[in-house]
Amino acid sequence: MTFSRKPADRYAPPIDIPRQHLLNPLKTPCLALDIGGSLAKLVYLSNANMSGDDSSEGRKLHFVKFETRHMAQLIRYIKTRLGDNIDKIQGKSVSVTGGGAHKYKDLIEQTLGLKVHKQDEMDCLIKGSNFLLGNIPNEAFALNKGGNPDITFQKAGCEFPYLLVNIGSGVSMLKVYSDEHFERVGGTAMGGGTFWGLGSLLTKAQGFDELLALAENGDSSSVDLLVKDIYGGGGYEAMGLPGEVIASSFGKAARSRISGPARDQVNDADIAKSLLHLISNGIGQLAYLHANLYSCSRIIFGGFFIRGKKATMHTISYAINYWSKGEVQALFLRHEGYLGAVGAY
């Protein structure tokens, strides 16, 4: 069977999971789903063909995503992976989290013959985060702009407490005290859905990935008002603000500032880059404020907004470092978008 797009995530590679570290080695079938408002995420073990065959000493956990509007395509993908084993799993349970656990329950049960076991979204998010942090080497990393290397991987180990900032369509911020104890301490409606929605209105990008690709090639200084634009080419040294710092997102886009031929020089890539900075800076500042309020020196960023893009991570890292004066560390995850699915498994 062929699909209109390759579903596997290049930035979220499979991970080796020894048998003793399997979240639930006896689960059949060996898959779990996290179905959100924008994306549906699937995790499954490779050697089992999703059938639960436990014949291997170590197995690979694979990560696949589809846009939620293509749920029928995801169902076909699962059927293809199951192959001849589909008859063996009829009537068994599959763990599903996210809003789609309710919305797509009947579709999953009727087309796959599996009973949907709905799991709490926040519980799964924390379980997945703690498992990956605690058991998978080089899962978490920090960015060091201008450093050599510019990425510092962290050893496996889950240090509590930490602030988990999950950037999906919106943003949830959770203080994680232990494997069993956490609380949602804040959030914002300005998240990945905001970036995608405004980007769709302001550019010709056809999807989230295309919008991110545009942003990678953009120059936001054509639409953003920088500190140096206000101070005649330099920074505001008394306040520690370099000239390249954004003073006003989209500030140059006002009709009084951009008109005639100059307006034609503002392209979709520049708009996407400015929008990416706007959302990322806002999330970074809010994350720092919550970390400071709830005494967390480490912030873990999850969700599908970042997608391994260094421009986004650099912006968030800069915001955290600037506001905390280097006292709070921003950490990112290789499998950031699959925390809920891993936790459901």
Range of weakest confidence among 83-92, 176-185, 287-296: 83-92
Query: Any residues with CB less than 8 A from the CB of 6 and at least 6 apart, and which?
Result: none
**To the nearest whole percent, how much of the chain has pLDDT over 90?**
66
Q: What percent of the chain has pLDDT over 70?
A: 87
Question: For residue 334, is pLDDT > 50?
Answer: yes
Say if residue 236's pLDDT is above 90.
Answer: no
96-144, pLDDT tens digit by residue?
A: 999 999 999 999 999 999 999 999 999 999 999 999 999 999 999 999 8
Angle in degrees, CA 92, 97, 103, rounded to 5: 90
Q: Is the pLDDT of residue 16 over 90?
A: no
Two tokens at 211? 């919008």
Q: Give the torsion sign (CA, 90, 96, 102, 103).
A: negative
pTM exceeds cut of 0.85: yes
What's residue 25's pLDDT? 43
Write down the pLDDT at residue 256. 55
Lowest mean pLDDT among 9-23, 268-282, 328-342: 9-23
Summarize pLDDT for 193-209 with one digit per residue, the tens: 999 999 999 999 998 99
| pLDDT at 255 (0 to 100) | 60
Record the tokens describing residue 128, joined without a space: 């997945």
Residue 4 pLDDT greater than 80, yes or no: no
Please tell me the predicted confidence (pLDDT) of residue 22: 55
Distance CA 299, CA 185 (A): 13
Distance (Å, whole) CA 259 – CA 262: 6
Average pLDDT over residues 6-32: 65
Nearest CA among 156, 153, 152 for reference residue 135: 156
Tens digit of each residue's pLDDT (9 = 90 or more) over 32-79: 999 998 889 999 887 644 444 444 445 789 999 998 999 999 999 998
Residues paired with residue 180 on neighbouring β-strands, in sequence order: none
